[in-house]
Every structure is written in C-alpha cells, then in structure tokens.
Amino acid sequence: MTSTPSNQKSLGKAIRWTARLTGVLSIGVLLLFFIGEGFNPTKLTIKEWILFLFFPFGVMLGLLVGWKREFVGGLIAIISLALFCALETINGGFPGLAFFVFASPGILFLLASLISKRKTPGHL
C-alpha cells in the first residue's frame, strides 16, 4: 500500500502538532518541578550542573527549537537525553522512565521531519 502525498502531508502535520503540544506539556511540567521544588542553583555540584545541561536544559532547548526546525530540535533533545543517560550510568545510576517520557516529543519532531522530507513513490 502506498501513501498519497495528501495522506503523507496529513500524517506529517498530525505528528508535528502532537510533538509541539507534548513538547509544551513536557516543558511546562519540568518548569513546575523547578518552581515546586524551590530550585537553588547554588547547591548544585559540578557533576549535577553538567547533568542539568543535558537534562532538563538540553532537552527543553531541543523541544523549543523543534517548533521551527524539527530535525535539529529533535536531534538536540535526543542527544541531550542520551548524554544525560550515559553520564548518569557512569555515575552508577540509570534514569527512570520519566526522563524518556519528557524527551519523547523529540522523537516525534524527528519523525515529523523525516515524513515531511520523504518523497512518495513516483514523484520527483
């Protein structure tokens, strides 16, 4: 079964808006954590600052960039999560599922970008 350009365009648009809306939701919940927990940057160690650069800051940056540049934003979010996970694993832990859920709109941005760039069979 082949997809028509119209179906492909609709699917890309649906995924794009799902990524945008879930990205806003992820950023909003992460910001609520900062407010609710009384974030005090002076109490963070250097290791914690490095981790914070990747999650949540890198992921949130990627989700914001994804609004205009889906591929780049999705890549920033996913690479930030991967680096956070790698560093956390080196430190003896592994992030829980929630970290992946917060970064999941990055995957949707990548998918939307790939669908919108893909050419349908028979079309140049």
**Over the stretch 63-119, which tens digit does the pLDDT of each residue have?**
999 999 999 999 999 999 999 999 999 988 888 899 999 999 999 999 999 998 865
Phi, psi for 32 (deg, rounded to 5): -65, -35
Nearest to 2 by CA among 123, 113, 120, 118: 120
Q: How far apart are CA 24 and CA 27, in angstroms?
A: 5
**pLDDT at res. 7:** 84
- pLDDT at residue 4, as a whole number: 62
pLDDT at 1 over 80: no
| First and final C-alpha spacing in the chain | 19
Cβ distance 103 to 80 under 8 Å? Answer: yes
Q: Which residue has the tokens 């956390």?
A: 88
